[in-house]
Amino acid sequence: MVLISSTARYEVYARSYASYAGLNATETEEMIQVLESMDVNVRGTSIPEIAPRLSQKALFIHSKDDHIVPIGDAVESAMAWPGASLLLFESLGHRRILRASLVHQAILKFISD
């Protein structure tokens, strides 16, 4: 499994996104309820809590300057996942990381290994 710029806890990210979008507390709860009505486990999805029970190989990729998802999320998640690897990049932010050839090469190497 390859996780790129992934949040550690979905609810924290959802609430942060709602705030960024200008939603108030009531609207944020409505958004979370809508997601949950679509079978998205917003409140219960936490990689650090789930990871210790997983045995799949995992590679976490994150840019140190990601202003959307803090690098600490990747560090915490990778540390909780047995045998996971963490690959950090500089100056790729949250979105540019998806287009970076170095990231593509790392993913292909991880998958081929």
User: Which residues lie across from 2 on neighbouring strands?
Assistant: 59
Tokens linked to 60:
């976490």
Tokens linked to 5:
């710029």
How many domains are contained in the chain? 1
User: Helices 10-20 and 25-37 sit at what angle, rounded to 10 degrees?
Assistant: 130
Q: How far apart are CA 26 and CA 28, in angstroms?
A: 5
Mean pLDDT across the chain: 95
- 12 pLDDT tier (thresholds 50, 70, 90): very high
Percentage of residues of the chain with pLDDT beyond 90: 96
**pTM recorded for the entire structure:** 0.85
- 72 pLDDT tier (thresholds 50, 70, 90): very high
Give the pLDDT of residue 95. Answer: 92
Residue 37 CB burial class (10 angstroms; 0-12, 13-18, ≥19): exposed
Q: What's the CATH code of the domain at 19? A: 3.40.50.1820
Tokens linked to 42:
């917003």
42-68 pLDDT per residue, tens: 998 999 999 999 999 999 999 999 999
Residue pointed to by tokens 């709860």: 29
CB 8 within 8 A of CB 113: no
Question: Range of 94's domain?
Answer: 2-112
